[in-house]
Structures are given as C-alpha cells and as structure tokens.
C-alpha cells in the first residue's frame, strides 16, 4: 500500500517511507568513495590525495542543490498540506528552472577559478596536475549534480521515494561500472574516474526532469510557472542550514588537510580521505533519514497536526540513537578491514588509517541527533535555528577543535576533533528544541 504524507507514522511505516531516501543518499555518496577506491589501488596515493584535496570546493557548490531541495521541499510540502496542489507545482517548477540557470552560471565561474583555487589549497607538481584534470571534468557535470541533489527530497514530497531511490541506484551503478571499466580495465587513471563520476551525475540530474516533465501519478509535475521571488528567498533561507552544513564541512576539511599536511604529509591526507569515505556513507544514512522524514514533518505542520509532530520527533530521536550505536560499533570492529581495502599496499599508511578511524568513529554516536535536529527545524520553516545548529556543529565547534586539539595530542588530536564538536552541538540542539517546544507544539 502506498504511504501518504497525511498518514499516521508508526516506527515501521516511518522506516519504510524514509528507507528509499536513506539508500538514495548512500548511493550518492558512493560516487567519491568508488572513485577513491579505484584511484588509490590503481593510480597510487598521489592521485588519491588529489581527489581528496579537490573535493571540498565541489561539495560546497553541489550543496546549493541541497539548499534548494530541502528548503523548497519544505515550502512545497507545506503548500500541499494546505490543499493548494496547483500552487505547489508552480513553486516546484520555478525552483527546478532556477537550479538549471544558476548551475550553468556557477559552472562557468568555477572553471575560470579552478587553477588558482587548487594552488591556494597547497597543490603543486603532479598533485596540481591531477587536481586540475579531475576538477575540470567533474566541474562540467556540476549543474546536473545540483539537480540530482534538488530532486532527492522532491521525490519524497511527490510521494515517490522509491522512484527517487531507483534513479540514485541507477546513477550509482553507472559510476561503479564505468570506474571498473575505465580505471581498472582500460587503465585511464584519474581521467577515467572523473568521467565516470560526471556521467553518473548527468544521469541523476536528467532522468528526474524527464519523469516530472511528463504526465505522471505523483503529486508534482514540471510545467509553466513564473518567478516567485518571495518563494525563492524563503527556499534559500530555509534551506540555508543544509548549505551551511555542507559548505562548512568542506571548509573544515580544508583545515584538516592543512593540519595533516603539517603533521603527516601526503600520507595524512590519504588516511583522512579514507575516514571521509566512511563518514560520507554513515552520515548519508542520517541525512537520508532527515531528508525522507522532512516532507512528512512539513505536511503535518501545515495541517496543524501537533500530536503527529510530537510522535515524529520522539520516534526519530530513538532511531538516530540506535543507528549511531550501530555505526560506531561497525567502525571499531571493521577499522582494519576498511584500511586494508583502501591503503593495504602501504603498511605505515594502513596503520595510521585504522587508528584514525577507531578514534573518529566515536562521533557517530552523536552526530545523528544534530543532523536530524537541524533538518527538523528546516521542515518547520525555521531557517534561523536550523542554520545556527548547522553552522555551530560543522564550522565553529569543529574548526576550533581541529585547530586546538593537535597542539595537545598531535596527530590523534586531528582524528578526535569531530567528537567534542558533536557534544557541543548536541547541547545547542537540545536547548533550541526546549525553547521552541511550546511554539510548535511538538
């Protein structure tokens, strides 16, 4: 039976409804993980380090899609909850078209700035050449990557999360298959990995347009619209937390890279790359749940169903806690295996990576609560609180930790920095939840 936004959500129904979004986010994160796996084993650690050095700026730019997707979904789902389906479709269409136009302009600017940007990040010699090669190819697919991020949450608002999952899985399979062919079989190296990622992102951006532009049985359809400045402004402001979260994480990654280059050189960058890949996959589970549940929260907020809001918050907190324990346990048990898969060809690098992952994994116990807390306020239309949680968690607290802890603990201080940032962010999240409880009725 098709689950609708207006339903009452038990634990089972909530998990079934959000599971496609979770898997969709995991497959989206697979792009960089698969690239890194093939490049590390078939092109060496210099090319592997180049991917990790180049990734943060593209994460920032791709996050604009998350901003429009999450912020726009809150507006569109709330409008659907108010019974205004035609108006919701006009808003949806306008936001998609704005992403296409904005993405093209950003791509042109990024191509011009790429050489100077990579030099500023510290790349030189062969690593600089690798950064430019990978960056230029991936940059051309940036508008499609932004569209893919936009459609992830809109598929949920359209009550088609399984279709969104199918698109994400298809794009992920394209990426993995081409990586295996171009990098492992044909030995095209970094260029092959970049081409595989770009083509998979084109797939993830174009297929949803083809679906929503046709007659379909979902709640949303692309069509004629006009420019709604207020809606675009509300969308960007409301989705700012997701943009802040991704952009801040990328900026902090640059800080990590500077510290690691100072303390451990190229090996430190490569080891941190493996930690980031584990983080991409596990955090993608939290993000997928947050994105999958957000349209439900927005719909019931628009319908003024306060008992259901309270139920959704309580159940989500339980699920985030259980997932955090499971992720930390898996990371601790499998740290050596994961290090072997990525960098087993270098004993010293393998030991550094396994040790870093065991320390870093402790943060998974807490970060799910903070990710959902930020998303919860986005879904309620409170962009200020959502952005504050994201900014403090991903930028201020973590930047301070990664700058201070290595002075006290050396290299282990870098791996540990994420944990105190999550502890402080959890305290902030709980304060905001308590202060706004009466206003929203959850």
The pLDDT value recorded for residue 369 is 94
Region 103-117: mean pLDDT is 88
Nearest to 161 by CA among 294, 21, 66, 286: 21
The CA-atom distances, in angstroms, between 72 and each of 94, 117, 203, 284, 363 are 10, 30, 22, 20, 30
The fraction of the chain above a pLDDT of 70, given in percent, is: 96
**CA-to-CA separations, 282 to 227, 243, 329, in angstroms, rounded:** 38, 19, 12
The confidence band for 25, taking pLDDT boundaries of 50, 70 and 90, is: confident
Per-residue pLDDT tens over the stretch 228-284: 999 999 888 877 766 766 667 777 877 887 888 788 877 888 888 888 888 888 888
Which ranges of 141-188 would DSSP assign to H, the alpha helix?
142-157, 161-179
For 182-207, give one letter per residue: b (16+ CB within 10 A) or e: bbeeeebbbbbbbbbbbbbbbbbbeb
> What percent of the chain lies above the pLDDT cut of 90?
34
- Tell me how long the chain is: 442
Q: Is pLDDT above 90 for 222?
A: yes
Q: State mean pLDDT over 220-226.
A: 92
In this predicted structure, the answer to whether residue 422 has a pLDDT above a threshold of 90 is: yes
pLDDT tens figures, 335-348? 989 898 888 888 88
Cβ 406 vs Cβ 259: under 8 Å: yes
Three-state DSSP class for residue 401:
helix
Highest mean pLDDT among 34-38, 159-163, 280-284, 401-405: 401-405
Specify the residue for token string 């690798």: 130
**pLDDT, mean of residues 143-155:** 89
Burial degree of 116 (CB within 10 A; 0-12, 13-18, 19+):
exposed
Q: How confident is the model at residue 27 (pLDDT cuts 50, 70, 90)?
A: confident
Asked if 201 contacts 151 with a C-beta cutoff of 8 angstroms, the reply is no
Provide the pLDDT for residue 228.
Answer: 93
Question: How many H helices and E strands in the chain?
Answer: 18, 0
Residue 125's pLDDT is what? 78
Asked which of 18-32, 174-188, 379-393 is least confident by mean pLDDT, the reply is 18-32
pLDDT exceeds 90 at position 318: yes
Provide the CA 385 distance to its chain's centre, in angstroms: 19
Asked whether the predicted pLDDT for residue 95 surpasses 90, the reply is yes
Chain mean pLDDT for the chain: 86
Please give the pLDDT value at position 317.
Answer: 94
Domain boundaries, the chain: 11-436
| Helices 45-81/189-213 angle, 10° precision | 10
Helix (H) / strand (E) containing 330: helix 306-343
What pLDDT score does 31 carry? 63
**In a 10 Å sphere around its CB, with 0-12 CB exposed, 13-18 middle and 19+ buried, how is residue 362 labelled?**
middle
Mean pLDDT across the stretch 293-306? 85
Q: Which string of b and e fits 221-258 if b means at least 16 CB within 10 Å?
A: bbeebeebeebbebbbbbbbbbbbbbbbbbbbbebbbe
Tokens of 214: 């046709």
pLDDT above 80 for 93: yes
Residue with tokens 């770009």: 198
- Report pLDDT for 1: 60
CA distance 393 to 397: 6
Cβ count near 440 (within 10 Å): 18
User: Tokens at residue 395, please?
Assistant: 């930028």
CA distances to 23, 34, 140, 283, 288 from 28, rounded to whole Å, are 9, 11, 18, 12, 10
pLDDT band for position 365 (cuts 50, 70, 90): very high
Using CA atoms, how far apart are residues 287 and 282, in angstroms rounded to an integer? Answer: 9
């Amino acid at each position: 039976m098709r689950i609708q936004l207006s339903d009452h959500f038990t634990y089972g129904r909530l998990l079934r409804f959000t599971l496609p979004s979770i898997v969709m986010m995991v497959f989206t994160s697979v792009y960089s993980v698969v690239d890194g796996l093939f490049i590390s084993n078939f092109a060496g650690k210099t090319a592997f380090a180049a991917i990790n050095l180049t990734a943060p700026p593209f994460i920032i730019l791709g996050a604009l899609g998350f901003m429009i997707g999450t912020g726009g979904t809150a507006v569109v789902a709330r409008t659907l909850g108010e019974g205004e389906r035609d108006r919701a479709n006009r808003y949806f269409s306008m936001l998609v078209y704005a992403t296409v136009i904005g993405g093209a302009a950003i791509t042109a600017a990024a191509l011009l700035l790429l050489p100077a940007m990579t030099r500023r990040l510290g790349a030189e010699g062969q690593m600089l050449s690798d950064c430019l090669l990978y960056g230029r190819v991936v940059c051309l697919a940036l508008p499609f990557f932004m569209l893919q991020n936009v459609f992830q949450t809109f598929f949920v608002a359209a009550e088609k999360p399984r279709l969104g999952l199918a698109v994400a899985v298809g794009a992920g399979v394209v990426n993995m298959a081409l990586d295996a062919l171009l990098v492992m079989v044909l030995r095209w190296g970094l260029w092959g990995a970049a081409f595989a990622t770009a083509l998979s992102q084109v797939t993830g951006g174009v297929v949803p347009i083809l679906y929503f532009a046709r007659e379909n049985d979902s709640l949303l359809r692309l069509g004629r619209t006009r420019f709604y400045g207020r809606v675009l402004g509300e969308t960007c402001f409301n989705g700012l937390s997701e943009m802040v979260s991704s952009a801040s994480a990328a900026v902090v990654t640059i800080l990590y890279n500077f510290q690691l280059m100072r303390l451990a050189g190229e090996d430190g960058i490569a080891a941190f790359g493996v930690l980031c890949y584990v983080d991409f996959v596990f955090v993608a589970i939290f993000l997928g749940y947050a994105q999958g549940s957000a349209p439900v929260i927005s719909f019931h907020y628009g319908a003024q169903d306060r008992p259901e809001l309270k139920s959704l918050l309580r159940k989500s907190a339980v699920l985030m806690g259980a997932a955090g324990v499971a992720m930390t346990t898996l990371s601790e048990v499998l740290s050596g295996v994961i290090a072997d898969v990525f960098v087993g060809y270098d004993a010293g690098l393998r030991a550094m990576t396994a040790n870093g992952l065991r320390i870093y994994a402790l943060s998974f116990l807490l970060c799910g609560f903070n990710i959902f807390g930020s998303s919860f306020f986005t879904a309620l239309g409170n962009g200020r609180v959502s952005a504050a949680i994201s900014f403090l968690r991903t930028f201020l607290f973590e930047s301070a930790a990664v700058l201070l802890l290595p002075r006290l603990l050396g290299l282990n201080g870098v791996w540990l920095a994420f944990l105190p940032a999550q502890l402080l962010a959890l305290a902030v999240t709980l304060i905001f939840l308590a202060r706004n409880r009466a206003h929203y009725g959850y």
